[in-house]
Amino acid sequence: MEKDPRQLYFDLIKKSLSFTLWEEPGMPVEMFAYRKGMIYRNLMLWFTRILRYFRYQIVKLPAGSSEDKAAGKVWPRFAESMIGLKRLDNVQYCVESVLQNNIKGDLIETGVWRGGAVILMKAVLEAYGDPDRRVFVADSFAGLPRPDEDKYPQDIGDIHYTEDFLAVSEDTVKANFRKYGLLDDNVVFLKGWFKDTLPSAPIEQLAVLRIDGDMYESTLDAISSLYPRLAEGRVLYH
């Protein structure tokens, strides 16, 4: 049976976004040094510089199985998405569903990391020839906020804000869109904390809302601002 060229394209772009076409290499050990004390960081910097002079490098091998990676349970070094193939499949299904059922509205992800899920959203729109819908890319592009533990006790002990790995610049995400040939005027960036950007975002109606804020406060901010703008028959995905 002849395969649909669009589905072949989606399969390829999902595998590329999740870096499953290639073996995940090890991560340089110095990438994890920021979690340690100053003495450790300085020693590690000194040691790794010496090794690099002799063209050597110590790496930490990837953790998790291929099943863990497909389920989005590991933090990949090179992928544009860390949510895994299974959730990328779901993103594709959600966008195709609103197109097939003619549900009006734009698409958004709140919390995009390197942009993989929203890149896929845009790819599906392009493949189906939808020129009008906008894809909103909402993120601080500076990592996660320090938890407000008094106001949101659900976030007590959350340390996402300490992870430099989660801070991806707006320029990097735009470059990733551009790499796939998918950056245009219908890709709209909302830079800042959700509580500041989402209430006044130029969005009238949403067909797909994907929330990936990691924290209770961030998730609540997204739901409070955007749930009232979801169209009838829409998709809310977290």
Distance spanning both ends of the chain, measured CA to CA: 35
Is the alpha carbon torsion for 131, 132, 133, 134 positive or negative? positive
pLDDT digit string, tens, across residues 117-164: 999 999 999 999 998 999 999 999 999 999 999 999 999 999 898 888
pLDDT digit string, tens, across residues 169-209: 999 999 999 999 999 999 999 999 999 999 999 999 999 99
DSSP type of residue 149: T
For residue 61, what pLDDT is reported?
75
Close Cβ partners of 196 (under 8 Å, ≥ 6 residues apart): none
By the 8 A CB rule, do 106 and 133 touch?
yes
- Residue 233 pLDDT level (bands cut at 50, 70, 90): low
pLDDT digit string, tens, across residues 63-109: 777 777 777 788 888 899 999 999 999 999 999 999 999 999 999 99
Q: Which residues pair with 237 in a beta bridge?
A: 210
For residues 25-49, average pLDDT: 80
For residue 238, what pLDDT is reported?
55
**6 vs 74: which has the higher pLDDT:** 6
Compute the distance between CA of residue 52 and CA of residue 55 in angstroms, rounded to an integer: 5
Instruction: Fill in the amino acid letter for 51.
Output: L
Domain 84-237, CATH class in plain words: alpha beta
What does residue 234 show for φ and ψ, rounded to 5 degrees?
-75, 180
pLDDT digit string, tens, across residues 12-32: 999 999 999 888 777 787 777
DSSP string over 188-210: EEEES-HHHHSTT-S-S-EEEEE
- Residue 236 pLDDT level (bands cut at 50, 70, 90): low
Instruction: For the chain, give every domain's residue range.
Output: 27-60, 84-237
- Residue 44 pLDDT level (bands cut at 50, 70, 90): confident
